[in-house]
Structure 1
Amino acid sequence: MTLTVTNTLGRREEVFRPWSPPLVTMYVCGPTVYDYVHIGHAKTFVAFDGIKRYLSLIGYSVYHVQNITDIDDKIIKRASDRGVSWKEVADSYAQDYLESLSRLNIRVDLHPRVTSHINEIIDFIGKLIEKGYAYVAPSGSVYFDVDAYPDYGRLSGNFNKALWDQGEGVVSEKRHPYDFALWKAAKPGEPWWESPWGRGRPGWHIECSVMSSRYLGSRIDIHGGGSDLIFPHHENERAQSESLFGGPWVKYWLHTGMLTIRGEKMSKSLGNIVSLRDAINEWGPNVIRMWVLTSHYRGSLEYSEQSLGQAKKLVERLRDIASDVVKRLSKEEYVNYMKAADVDELFKLRSLYLNWHAAMQRDFNMGEAAGSVWALTSEYYKYIASSESRALIAFTYKMLVDFNRVYAVLDDIFERAPMAPVASLEDQLIDLLVEVRSQLRKNKMYDLADYIRSKLASYGITLVDKGEETTWKRAG
């Protein structure tokens, strides 16, 4: 199978060939920390975490950088409205962002912050001025000369200069109304840093060019973000970076689709923003992850009870099956001979496994891949759960482990059961308590039996009685 990706630059599907395999460098635009991160951010952050995890699964080593914009007009305004320092605002919401990522089991290798890279930003801007791509205005602001970069507009497909005006800076001091700010001269009461052009602070777009190239180099494999960033943010990043480096900068531009609520785009103006921490508290991090990773990253995604409910159901089924498989593999002996029906089922599973990979290899089509995951859960309850073939159960385990390397909703279960599962002492003690409780029930000592059930429940262990047989599972 050959992995293909849809490159926003050119809007076509291309074979994935990183600059220096097996290394893959990936930069994803992080948040501007002036408010709590919301569920729309999660769609992008979880999607790229899933992409990174799948690339790792098939043999690539991914280095993932995701910035934090901790100085910006919005941060300054929020601080002014509250009567606090801009740094207090930025630090508070940056902490919320990092905690949310941790709860969602998102792994980022480096989180650079803008204010830690002012010197590098000034140096980058200085080189653009030297090469004739930027100029200093009388106010001390520095602007990028868009007309000096002839390929401007190709990433977004926006070639109409009349639509390029981004409202940045003072029009009267710019060569063209659509030139954008690299350095903003300080205004009274605003934070500032010293520069060769006077006191000021970085523009929005320059920061990502500087931090991404500082840590990933002048040629990056994947640059990602929400589709709302294509213009002007990513268009401007590409222009200033390729102007400085003198050639192609990003090989594959990948963008996530928008989040909708009741069919409308989530936005502050509509008052339908859902904070990420509220969504996690309501649904749990595993459900949020599965909800995002069972839809195509480029498509829109509806935030609704129905769609999240489906994700919750799938997570619950996977966790129940994974727990059952781990327990069975720790107890059952090897069976060298497989019945014909077992062999047939094994080939069904192999087909599902290959179909999952085939979907993921087609531009990380997670929506289609989810069909194979659902099918695995159905096959398990239909046949595998009652099979005595260890080989069949072991292959189910392998599928679950590989799927989980992307979905990451079974980590706690598999941490207790490495690749060669052995029942932990904790599991054995729970089994013993369940046996003792069964004996108490047979002897009609229901008070003590109920006490064991309630104590186990307080530790996150749920007992399920089916007639005289009792099984247990950990809360998800």
Structure 2
Amino acid sequence: MKFFNTYTRSEEEFTPISGNEVRIYTCGPTVYNYAHIGNFRAYIFEDILRRALKYCGYNVMQVMNLTDVDDKTIRDSKAAGTALDAYTKKFKDAFFQDLGTLRIEKAEFYPEATKHIPEMISIIKILLEKGYAYVGEDKSIYFSVAKFANYGKLARIDMENQRAGVRVKTDEYGKDAVADFALWKIWDENDGDVAWESPWGKGRPGWHIECSAMSMKYLGKTFDIHTGGIDNMFPHHEDEIAQSEAANGCRFVNYWLHCEHLIVNGQKMSKSLGNFFTLRDLVSKGYSGREIRWVLMGTHYRKKLNFTLEACAQAKATLQKFNDFLVRLYSVKNSSAQGDSAGEIVRKAADSFKAAMSADLNISEALAAVFELEHEANKLMESGKMGSGGAAAVLGQFKDFDRIFSVFDVAAADAGSIPAEITTLVEERISAKKNRNYARSDEIRKELQAKGWMVEDTPAGPRVKKIA
């Protein structure tokens, strides 16, 4: 497999640290509100990555953190008049429900920041001992970016033109405000009752130290892949690298994979523009998790994804078309039809699909392999050349596609498959139309209706449905 490593800005052959084992850390949600579709664009990318690695034979250990203490969770829990734990639990529960809706495989670990405070304190102690951290005038502990020679390498920041000694206590800040960042924030009245005891006094961790502590605990000091949205590159990931490598004296991560932004109708998503959607908003509009998944996975992760409601409607139609196709395949499979084994078209699709997913998750080429197989299989069915064994082979390949895509629901299509006698009539009607015997074609249509089935002629061939 090959991946584009953000750290080197180049595509590299993927080589895990330990044989067939791949250890991944993915930046999870800050649980101060419901996750929005921009967040889920990243989580779908990470799910496709995880599934593709497993598809290619790797064993995956994935850690996704839950940020349940930071500036935003404290701010909003106070505004709601609710204790931090109770406030964030609602959104943790909602997040896991949303993962299920989108068919995102569960990671092996979901560590919560509030349950790993001792690990964070241990790293801060090491950084102080090594001289990378210091106590600020406000008694908080800060990391000195000037002391870490490689600071700025991930985000490509020119450190020579930065002012030394500037400090920032907030969790988020821009590239134009590079500063010594907070590792431990001494308690103030804005924190309310959110605080832990430490050697430096009562306080709470900075956002960036949380991920270093949790990744190290579950994946070790150096691991294979770190993922996240492009917006996390700076300051979050840059600061993670600095504090982790300074504390441990070794490389933090071998491959950095970043997902581009999601925009809505060509614009940045915002509540003021009325184009801000949570997953629940879209479900309430009548779209299913698999339809939304289809839209979110359909653009390569390193390209901006322009999300529209029209794309959701198109996804609904596309997946219905695939469902009808699979139902037809099951009807042929369950018949005694003799004909093409479909071995060649299935082998070609399988090879193309795996090659695409191994090439930095080339989703466009992978989807092209899927559509090509559908097209070729439809041609065989329309001409009456598809054998029952061939239909079974194509169905098996679509199950294989779903190991990564998880949208086709191949087994469920069997419940809607068409009885053999109906399939025979449909095939006879196809033959009658080819021979211009339109009277017989109309008779068969009426016979089908009498048996509770309707047939629609489409460019892709006849579509047969049970009459409700």
Q: Is the pair's TM-score, using the shorter chain for normalization, greater than 0.5?
A: yes
Letter in 1 for 2:169: E
Tell me the equivalent position of 1:162.
162
Report the alpha carbon displacement of residue 361 of structure 1 after superposing the two structures with TM.
Answer: 1.8
Percentage of pairs with the same residue: 37
Letter in 1 for 2:290: N
Letter in 2 for 1:277: R
Tell me the equivalent position of 1:456.
none
Tell me the equivalent position of 2:296.
292
For 1:255 and 1:179, how far apart are their aligned partners in 2?
Answer: 24
Deviates more, 1:288-297 or 1:8-17: 288-297
Within the candidate set 37, 48, 54, 1:39 is matched to 37
Query: What is the CA deviation profile of residues 236-292 of structure 1, one whole-angstrom value per residue up to 9, with x for unaligned ones?
Result: 001111112211111110011111112112245655321122123432111111112
Tell me the equivalent position of 1:179.
180
Alpha-carbon contact 2:142-2:167 (below 8 Å) kept:
no
Q: How does 1:45-444 map to 2 (within 5 A)?
A: 45-107=43-105, 108-160=107-159, 161-162=161-162, 167-168=168-169, 178-188=179-189, 189-268=192-271, 270-282=273-285, 283-332=287-336, 342=340, 346-384=343-381, 386-411=384-409, 413-414=410-411
Report the alpha carbon displacement of residue 444 of structure 1 after superposing the two structures with TM.
Answer: 13
Report the alpha carbon displacement of residue 330 of structure 1 after superposing the two structures with TM.
Answer: 4.0
Query: What is the CA deviation profile of residues 371-420 of structure 1, one whole-angstrom value per residue up to 9, with x for unaligned ones?
Result: 22222222232224633423422331232011111111134x43x69xxx
Alpha-carbon contact 1:434-1:470 (below 8 Å) kept:
no
Alpha-carbon contact 1:321-1:380 (below 8 Å) kept:
no
3-state SS of paired residue (2:162): helix
3-state SS of paired residue (1:407): coil
Deviates more, 1:103-112 or 1:85-94: 85-94
Would the alpha carbon gap of residues 281 and 177 (structure 1) be closer, same or farther in structure 2, given more than 3 Å must change? closer
Would the alpha carbon gap of residues 268 and 133 (structure 1) be closer, same or farther in structure 2, given more than 3 Å must change? farther
Alpha-carbon contact 1:384-1:392 (below 8 Å) kept:
no
Would the alpha carbon gap of residues 350 and 75 (structure 1) be closer, same or farther in structure 2, given more than 3 Å must change? same
Would the alpha carbon gap of residues 281 and 270 (structure 1) be closer, same or farther in structure 2, given more than 3 Å must change? closer
3-state SS of paired residue (1:406): coil
3-state SS of paired residue (1:6): strand
Letter in 1 for 2:183: L
Would the alpha carbon gap of residues 287 and 444 (structure 1) be closer, same or farther in structure 2, given more than 3 Å must change? closer
Deviates more, 1:68-77 or 1:302-311: 302-311
Report the alpha carbon displacement of residue 166 of structure 1 after superposing the two structures with TM.
Answer: 7.5
Letter in 2 for 1:264: Q
3-state SS of paired residue (2:18): coil
Report the alpha carbon displacement of residue 363 of structure 1 after superposing the two structures with TM.
Answer: 0.7
For 2:23 and 2:69, how far apart are their aligned partners in 1?
Answer: 25
For 1:268 and 1:95, how far apart are their aligned partners in 2?
Answer: 23
Which 5+ residue runs of structure 2 have no aligned equivalent? 172-176, 424-444
Deviates more, 1:279-288 or 1:37-46: 279-288
Alpha-carbon contact 2:299-2:364 (below 8 Å) kept:
yes
Report the alpha carbon displacement of residue 432 of structure 1 after superposing the two structures with TM.
Answer: 11
Which 5+ residue runs of structure 1 have no aligned equivalent? 171-175, 418-422, 436-440, 454-462
Query: What is the CA deviation profile of residues 148-177 of structure 1, one whole-angstrom value per residue up to 9, with x for unaligned ones?
Result: 21001111111245389683269xxxxx97
For 2:130 and 2:454, how far apart are their aligned partners in 1?
Answer: 71
Alpha-carbon contact 2:162-2:178 (below 8 Å) kept:
no
For 1:56 and 1:391, how far apart are their aligned partners in 2?
Answer: 28
Q: State the aligned residue count.
A: 431
Query: What is the CA deviation profile of residues 450-474 of structure 1, one whole-angstrom value per residue up to 9, with x for unaligned ones?
Result: xxx8xxxxxxxxx65569x995589
Letter in 2 for 1:383: L
3-state SS of paired residue (1:255): strand
Alpha-carbon contact 1:152-1:159 (below 8 Å) kept:
no
Q: What TM-score comes out, normalization by structure 2 length?
A: 0.83
Report the alpha carbon displacement of residue 139 of structure 1 after superposing the two structures with TM.
Answer: 3.5
Tell me the equivalent position of 1:460.
none
Report the alpha carbon displacement of residue 310 of structure 1 after superposing the two structures with TM.
Answer: 3.4
